[in-house]
Amino acid sequence: MDNLIQVVSIASAALAVSFGAIGPALGEGRAVAAAMDAIARQPESAGTLSRTLFVGLAMIETMAIYCLVIALLVLFANPFVK
């Protein structure tokens, strides 16, 4: 029984990371594309744009990091595995 929980934990950790990465990846792609567009139109505001872009990317990336942390909790700090 204990073994089954571990198997399910590993599978769910892989699922959490893989599906959790889809959304942030698409979002980051859109954000960078929009920033590139804006820099191409207004190269003089590249400094402000890239600073805002970095902070925004960090925000988006947090979603993927949450999934990673959940996966780690499931793998290493699982309350159902002794």
Give contact residues for another protein (rule: CB under 8 A): 47-48, 51, 54-55, 58, 61-62, 65-66, 68-69, 72-73, 75-77
What ranges in the chain are assigned the alpha helix state H?
A: 2-41, 46-76
> Is 31 or 73 the residue whose CB approaches another protein more closely?
73
Pairwise CA distance, residues 76 & 80, whole Å: 11
CA angle 7, 17, 68 (to 5 degrees): 100
Q: For the CB of residue 77, give the shortest distance to another protein in the complex, in Å.
A: 5
User: Least Å distance between CB 3 and another protein?
Assistant: 18
